[in-house]
Structure 1
Amino acid sequence: MKVRNSAAAQAAEMRAKARRGVWQRVLAALGVRTGRVRRADAVAARWEHGAAGEEATARLVAALGSQGWVIRHDLRMPGSRANLDHLLISPCGMAVVVLDSKNWHRGRTTTLVGNRVRCGTDDRHGQVEAVASYARRVSRTLNLPGVVVWPLLVIHGSPIAGGRLEARAPEWDGVVHVLGPARLVPTLAAAPKAHDPARAAAVVARVDRVLLPYVPGPRRVR
């Protein structure tokens, strides 16, 4: 499944921009990579790595569409330059899932140490706090009483200790679930089975009205 992916587009734009100009094209034809091109390629590679995780998540959650879930990808965060990787509306119209995809080191296990999420020895709790802040902003923007917003982090590559973690973030009154891809769809599919098409449609209409597709702004490559 191929979805619109601003991270991949950003990476392609970085590579292309670094190679613009007659001199850059001449050097490229000679197989020479300037410092500018090398720096752009390094940053673009990180974006492409993240984009691969987002596309893998999109393929996984597509299966939920047949169960009544409505799925949106790559939305603009109101009042921010950030984007929402994925947003899902439950069939009952009572839950919105803010889902962030990460692609971490395959050779390092993701654990919860001292109430902080780590990938190997690297502290990655900032990603937990980020998705919690996204969920908080989405909740305020939607402003739909009775609709619960769930923050969820899915990690590709790095194995999750125990298959899933329950983390906490400041100013978020609840759990941020950190899951591996194998646990993602079963966890969401286990949500309340009741379907309320009218209520769900109203939530979808609100989402589509206030959370628009993300359009990345230009970035300078130095």
Structure 2
Amino acid sequence: MTVQNSAAARAAALRAGARRGLWRRLLALLGVRTAGVRRADSQAARWQHGAAGEEATARMLTALEARGWVIRHDLRLRGRRFNLDHVLASPCGTAIVVLDTKAWHRGRTTALVGGRVCCGAEDRHGQVEKVAEYARLVDRALGLPGVAVWPLLVVHGSPVAGGYLETRVPGWDGPVYVLGPDRLLPTLAGAPKARDPRRAAQLAGRVDSVLLPYTERG
């Protein structure tokens, strides 16, 4: 399964942009990589790495559809430039999951250090704060009383200490969970206690009416 996402599109755009123009195309055909091309390729590789993580998450999430979850990928809020990697509407119709995918260094463990999420020695808590902010904005945009919005972050590559982390961030009233891929499906599959197809369909419809497909220009 291949999932088209903005990270992959951005990687392709960087590579193509660095080779635009007759002289640059000629150099590329000759196998010559200018400093600009090398820089663009390095940036593109990072975007492609993130795209691979998002695609891996998307493949995993398809298993939840049989359980009644409605899953959308690569969305945005009207008037906002950031993208939402994955948004899930629960089969009970009372919860939305705003899920962000990260692909961090395989040789470093993701753990809590002084209450902050770190990958090895690198502080990554700012990215946890971002997904909580995304959840807050989605909650406000949906405007659905009685519907909980959960911010989650799944990390590929870097092993997550204990399989999952629970942390808090300013401005969000509740925990934010950071999960390893092996904990993602059990966590989500075990969350709904009941199914309500009618309410779930209404919730999914609201998501589709409020959140838009992400494009580079936003």
What CA distance in whole angstroms lies between the structure 2 residues aligned with 1:3 and 1:80? 22
Q: Which range moved further: 20-29 or 140-149? A: 20-29
* 8 Å Cα contact 1:78-1:141 kept in structure 2: no
* 8 Å Cα contact 1:64-1:185 kept in structure 2: yes
Task: Give secondary structure in 1 for the equivalent of 2:62.
Answer: helix
Q: Which range moved further: 107-116 or 25-34? A: 25-34
Deviations 1:182-203 (A, max 9, x none): 0000000111231111111111
Unmatched runs of 5 consecutive residues or more in structure 2: none
Deviations 1:82-131 (A, max 9, x none): 00000000000000000000000000000001110000000000110000
* 8 Å Cα contact 2:111-2:160 kept in structure 1: yes
What CA distance in whole angstroms lies between the structure 2 residues aligned with 1:72 and 1:63? 13
Equivalent residue number for residue 90 of structure 1: 90
Task: Give secondary structure in 2 for the equivalent of 1:216.
Answer: coil
Q: Runs of at least 4 residues of structure 1 off by over 6 A?
A: none
Unmatched runs of 5 consecutive residues or more in structure 1: none
What CA distance in whole angstroms lies between the structure 1 residues aligned with 2:80 and 2:92? 29
* 8 Å Cα contact 1:11-1:43 kept in structure 2: yes
Equivalent residue number for residue 69 of structure 1: 69
Q: What code does the residue aligned with 2:26 have? A: V
Q: Which range moved further: 209-218 or 55-64? A: 209-218
Equivalent residue number for residue 32 of structure 2: 32
Deviations 1:149-201 (A, max 9, x none): 00000000000111100011110000000000000000001112311111111
Are residue 146 (structure 1) and residue 140 (structure 2) matched?
no
Equivalent residue number for residue 212 of structure 2: 212
Task: Give secondary structure in 2 for the equivalent of 1:45.
Answer: helix
Are residue 19 (structure 1) and residue 19 (structure 2) matched?
yes
Equivalent residue number for residue 134 of structure 1: 134
What CA distance in whole angstroms lies between the structure 1 residues aligned with 2:149 and 2:197? 18
Q: What code does the residue aligned with 1:216 have? A: E
Percent identity of equivalent pairs: 70
Equivalent residue number for residue 170 of structure 1: 170
Task: Give secondary structure in 2 for the equivalent of 1:166.
Answer: strand
What CA distance in whole angstroms lies between the structure 2 residues aligned with 1:52 and 1:162? 24
Q: What code does the residue aligned with 2:40 have? A: A
What CA distance in whole angstroms lies between the structure 2 residues aligned with 1:157 and 1:99? 17
TM-score (norm 1): 0.96
TM-score (norm 2): 0.98
Task: Give secondary structure in 1 for the equivalent of 2:93.
Answer: coil
What CA distance in whole angstroms lies between the structure 1 residues aligned with 2:196 and 2:4? 28
1:49 shift after superposition: 0.7
Q: What code does the residue aligned with 1:102 have? A: K
Are residue 110 (structure 1) and residue 110 (structure 2) matched?
yes
* 8 Å Cα contact 2:77-2:210 kept in structure 1: no
